[in-house]
């Protein structure tokens, strides 16, 4: 946080930047248009949700105690939040950045660290300024801006769950496979619980294959899952002002939808299919982006087996992608209940 947070309105368990009626929350050092201002009545961290209170008779007197929560996130609110995310996708065409939001929260996981939250992963830490400022997260403030009103509306859903719910819903609404998700992820509660910078993949490392394996093997993922997850680049665009890669605009992006500009990996960059693999293999269109970490999928012998398969067989890609996405979304998470909430979002 840009400033220390004090506890305000104890009965509501609210964090705020000040005790005034409206708190200026310095989650982000950004231009005024990107900063947040919330009423103390509406903003809170779900990791510190108030538990229901009951009156009990004990030791000859009445007293108030808190009853345990049944889960980190409320299943009914998860279902309602999913509906709101669908409406957001229809109006803002923000499928790619919501996928990225979920991925970057989960993708900091280190399988070699057992302790939570030091191991990183899907724990909602990406909402804090210190992690949003990591170079790999450039532009994700915009995703947080989009999703925050839904978080405010559904206080019984953790940030960790909301980020993963938004990511999976975006894939499905873009025409992709149904992701076998579970929920109940617990949020970290403070910026000092964020992972250090450098755990996410880079776009143009000196040795792309080695880099991808170093990053994804650290998460416990294998070559098949690396290639399948790379296929999500069928959605979205790269903007040079954020990543340093891509053209300012192309014939496929100059008119949007959504904010125009950037360079996409595919022609229909809001449709989830296997075009990413087909287009990399064809190498026919200079207006389509191919990063070093994309090209290596058809150069490295092990990666190439899966890339060739997915270019020819969309059904196989969808199956492997759904499994890999679900696995990624669970990395490092602490679930309450421990088994998770398996089916909160049908339909």
Q: How far is CA 223 from CA 276, 314, 324, in A?
A: 17, 18, 11
Cα separation, 118 vs 229, whole angstroms = 24
Q: How far is CA 232 from CA 237, 239, 240, 243, 298, in A?
A: 11, 16, 19, 17, 16
Cα separation, 122 vs 158, whole angstroms = 11
Those residues whose C-beta lies under 8 Å from the C-beta of residue 184, and which sit 6 or more positions away, are 71, 72, 73, 161, 335, 336, 337, 340, 341
Side-chain-side CA neighbours of 311 within 13 Å: the count stands at 16
Q: Does an H or E element contain 264, and which?
A: strand 263-264
| Active-site amino acid positions | 104
Cα separation, 176 vs 322, whole angstroms = 9
CA 117 to chain centre: 16
Cα separation, 176 vs 342, whole angstroms = 20
């Amino acid at each position: 946080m840009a400033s220390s947070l004090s506890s305000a309105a104890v009965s509501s368990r609210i964090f705020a930047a000040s005790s005034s009626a409206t708190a200026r929350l310095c989650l982000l050092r950004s231009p005024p248009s990107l900063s947040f201002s919330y009423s103390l009545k509406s903003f809170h961290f779900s990791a510190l949700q108030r538990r229901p209170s009951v009156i009990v008779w004990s030791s000859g007197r009445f007293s108030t105690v808190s009853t345990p929560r049944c889960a980190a996130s409320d299943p009914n609110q998860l279902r309602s939040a999913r509906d709101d995310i669908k409406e957001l996708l229809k109006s803002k065409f923000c499928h790619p950045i919501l996928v990225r939001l979920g991925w970057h929260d989960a993708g900091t996981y280190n399988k070699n660290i057992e302790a939570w939250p030091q191991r990183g992963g899907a724990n909602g830490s990406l909402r804090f300024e210190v992690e949003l400022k990591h170079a790999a997260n450039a532009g994700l403030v915009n995703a947080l801006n989009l999703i925050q009103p839904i978080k405010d509306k559904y206080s019984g859903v953790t940030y960790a769950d909301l980020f993963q719910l938004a990511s999976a819903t975006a894939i499905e609404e873009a025409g992709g496979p149904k992701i076998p998700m579970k929920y109940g992820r617990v949020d970290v509660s403070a910026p000092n619980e964020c992972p250090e910078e450098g755990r996410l993949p880079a776009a143009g490392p000196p040795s792309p294959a080695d880099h991808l394996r170093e990053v994804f093997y650290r998460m416990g993922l294998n070559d098949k899952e690396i290639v399948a997850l790379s296929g999500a680049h069928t959605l979205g665009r790269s903007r040079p002002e954020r990543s340093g890669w891509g053209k300012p605009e192309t014939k496929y992006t100059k008119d949007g939808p959504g904010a125009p500009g950037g360079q996409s990996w595919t022609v229909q960059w809001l449709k989830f299919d296997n075009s990413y693999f087909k287009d990399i293999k064809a190498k026919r269109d200079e207006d389509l982006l191919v990063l070093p970490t994309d090209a290596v999928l058809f150069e490295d012998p092990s990666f190439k087996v899966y890339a060739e398969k997915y270019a020819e067989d969309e059904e196989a890609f969808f199956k492997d992608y759904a499994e890999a996405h679900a696995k990624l979304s669970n990395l490092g998470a602490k679930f309450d209940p421990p088994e998770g909430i398996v089916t909160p979002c049908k339909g």
